[in-house]
Amino acid sequence: MSKIASTKKLYQQDVYLKECAAAVLWAEEDLVVLDRTVFFPTGGGQSCDIGTISGQQVTEVFEQDDLVYHRMAGAASFTPWQEVRCCIDWERRFDNMQRHCGEHILSGICYRLFGGINRGFHMGQEYMTIDISLEEDPSIREITWEMAKQAELCTNEVIWSNAPVTVRRFETRQEAEQLPLRKALAIDEEISIVCVGDVENAADCVACCGTHPSTAGQVGLVKLYKVEHYKGMFRIYFEAGKRALLDYGRKHELIAALGNRFSAGPDDLMDKIKAREEKTKAVKNELHVLRQSVLNARREEIREDLLSMQGYTSPDKYPVLVYEYDDMKTDDLLNIGRPLIKEIVKLLIICSSSDNTALLFSNGTVDCGRLVKENASIYNGKGGGNATSARAIFPKRDGLDTFIDLIKKHLR
């Protein structure tokens, strides 16, 4: 394309302008450049505006060589000097302005209170983060949660004061550096300096090309969530504006629902939860004791059967003992069978009908592991073990039954 001077950036003159008429300078494929625009392009940590140009959706906006490019389907149908109408998604823009300005104030307060330099900023869907590096004041080596709460209060006090937010534009670095900047300048010309509050005593004063509300009060609210160590810095998680309010709403509803569940208010909710936990623990202990007594009783029944077989003249005549329970897991079966191993002459099988599982126990005269290995797979079973104990698990009940029948025949 031939060189066009620049796009007039109306969002720099009036951040509250939601619409404008503009002329097409250049259009090709899915990109269009206008002589003026209300669309803020991605930059300075702030995402771009979206909206419509003459009713067609704009999905991305970026700046290059002083021109603002709008990405949209159907851009190629525009012709040079065609008149178009730009409309931005104001809700998204104002959301960006609230969050972005909230981040300014919090960063400025961290600088004023702790000498912390903002070295990183992330605006996510769930929350924002800033990474604060403590460099200015050697006596401050960490940001505790108490300190973070102090910064949160100071940030909101700036918001409540409804301090003016101003943007000053400077041609040169020397002019801009006359202001009490929180961060060294990274550019040399055409510098925008944003100040929250009076320049002499600004809550924040820093170079920024983003969009900001005209007063701090429009940020509404800044809420901090947590602070954590991050690569030698301190990462603060927070939210601002309408998003902070919506988050408060969600958390309030959660607390209210928990309160209903536990018949408690916010003040005694934790006590009620703790009491419930202790009750659950006591019930679990009681259940454990009862379960042990059931296991012991069942083991004794089997032991009696084993003892009654001692009258048999030859161990070859010993039957394979099979027991089945529908209320026992594999661990319970092991608990029953293992202590009996030395008393078993031939083979003991204990089954869990709920798991289609059979545990085999023997004193070693019969190799349990080999029985499982050689026979279980015939009925789609899996498992294994050693000479004195092994397990076999079957996908279906009849697999378990036929496996046991086979073992009994095998050892007859």
The site for Zn ion (CB under 5 A) is made up of 194, 208, 210
Q: Min. distance of Cβ 273 from Zn ion in angstroms?
A: 42
Output the smallest distance, CB 61 to Zn ion, in A. 17
Q: Which is nearer to Zn ion, 148 or 194 (CB)?
A: 194
CB-based closest residue to Zn ion: 208
DSSP labels, 323-387: EEESS--HHHHHHHHGGGGGG-SS-EEEEETTTTEEEEE-SSSS-HHHHHHHHGGGGT-EEEE-S
Q: Output 159 or 194, the one with its CB closest to Zn ion.
A: 194
- For Zn ion, the closer of residues 103 and 332 by Cβ is 103
The backbone torsions φ and ψ at residue 269, rounded to the nearest 5 degrees and listed phi first, read -60, -45
* Tokens linked to 397: 């009940």
Is the CB of 159 or the CB of 208 nearer to Zn ion? 208
Q: What's 200-245 look like in SS3? A: HHCCEEEECCCCCCCEHHHHCCEEEEEEEEECCEEEEEEEEHHHHH
Determine the straight-line distance between the first and last CA of the chain, rounded to whole angstroms.
94
Query: Rounded to the nearest whole angstrom, what is the least distance from the CB of residue 100 to Zn ion in the complex?
Result: 5
CB of 204 to Zn ion, least distance (A): 9
What count of Cα atoms within 13 Å lies in the side-chain half-sphere of residue 226?
4
Cβ burial 18-32 (10 Å sphere, 16+ → b, else e): eebebebbbbeeebb
The neighbouring-strand residues paired with 324 are 351
Shortest Cβ 212–Zn ion spacing (Å)? 5
209 or 295, CB closer to Zn ion?
209
Neighbour tally for 83: CB within 10 Å? 9
* Smallest gap from residue 44 Cβ to Zn ion (A): 6
Q: What separation in angstroms does the CA of 9 have from each of 33, 190, 239?
A: 12, 14, 28
Q: Least CB distance from residue 165 to Zn ion, whole Å?
A: 9
Nearest approach in angstroms of CB 187 to Zn ion is 14
Taking a C-beta distance cutoff of 8 angstroms, is the pair 25, 82 a contact? Answer: no
